[in-house]
Every structure is written in structure tokens, then in C-alpha cells.
Amino acid sequence: MLDHMSIQCADAEASAAFYDAVLAPLGGGRIKDFGQYIGYGVDNIPDFWIGAQTTGEGFRESHIAFRAKDRAMVRAFFDAAVAAGAEVLWTPQEWAIYHPNYYGAFVRDPDGNNVEAVSHRPE
């Protein structure tokens, strides 16, 4: 996962359902739940937070990259995201432009954020 980050969500409940679904294949889950603010992570450390939108109607798209242990986890994340109704940006594939073992998939969450799962290990 990440050290930590937080994003604003127009519909916190819809976003919570989305992240419950797509983080499970990566070994992540809800660590803290304060209703409108939810912390996700692994090993009981909440490093990714979602919360109710607080800065007005518009906001800048965020890019979030979650670390996967292997390529199978990237594919599982992608499958879970598609099943949860995510818009597909890029299917799971190698991105040699970043480095030879960079394997990632990109989707859009319910709030329009660009969400990625990536493995840095070879097949």
C-alpha cells in the first residue's frame, strides 16, 4: 500500500463500497471507520483514507497507486474493480516506459479518481 493519503468523495458510501471491493484482492481492508471518514490498510495501519468532499463542487482528479505483491494481484484488483462498476482506463499490462517489470492496471473510482494497482516483480 502507500504511506498514507486521503481523497475527497462526493458520495462516501459509494466510495466505501468500491474500495471495500477493490482493496480486498490486494490484502487491504477497513482499519478505521468514522462514518464519513474511513481508513484502509494492511497490518492494522490505515494508510489510505476517504472522506466526505469538503472543498466545494469541483476537485482535481487524484492518482492513487496501490502496491500489489505480484501480477496475479493486479489482475484480481482489476477484476474486482470492473465488477464494482469502475470505468476502465487501462487493462493490466506491462509499462516498460516506467521500468521493465512495471505491471499495472488503471481504473476510475466513483468520484473520477485514477486508481492503479501495480506490481514491480517479473512474471
> What pLDDT, on a 0 to 100 scale, did the predictor assign at position 120?
93
- Whether the CB-CB separation of 96 and 106 falls below 8 Å is answered with no
What tens-digit pLDDT sequence spans the chain (123 residues)? 765 788 888 888 999 999 999 999 999 999 999 888 899 999 998 889 898 876 656 555 678 999 999 999 999 999 999 999 999 999 999 999 988 999 999 999 998 888 999 999 998
Q: What is the pTM of this model?
A: 0.75
> What pLDDT, on a 0 to 100 scale, did the predictor assign at position 2?
61
Which range of residues forms the domain containing residue 93? Answer: 5-53+61-119
| Closest alpha carbon to 105 in 22, 8, 29 | 22
CATH of the domain at 100: 3.10.180.10
> What pLDDT, on a 0 to 100 scale, did the predictor assign at position 36?
82
SS3 label, residue 44:
coil
Number of domains observed in the structure of the chain: 1
> What pLDDT, on a 0 to 100 scale, did the predictor assign at position 4?
73
Q: For residue 123, what are the β-bridge partners?
A: none
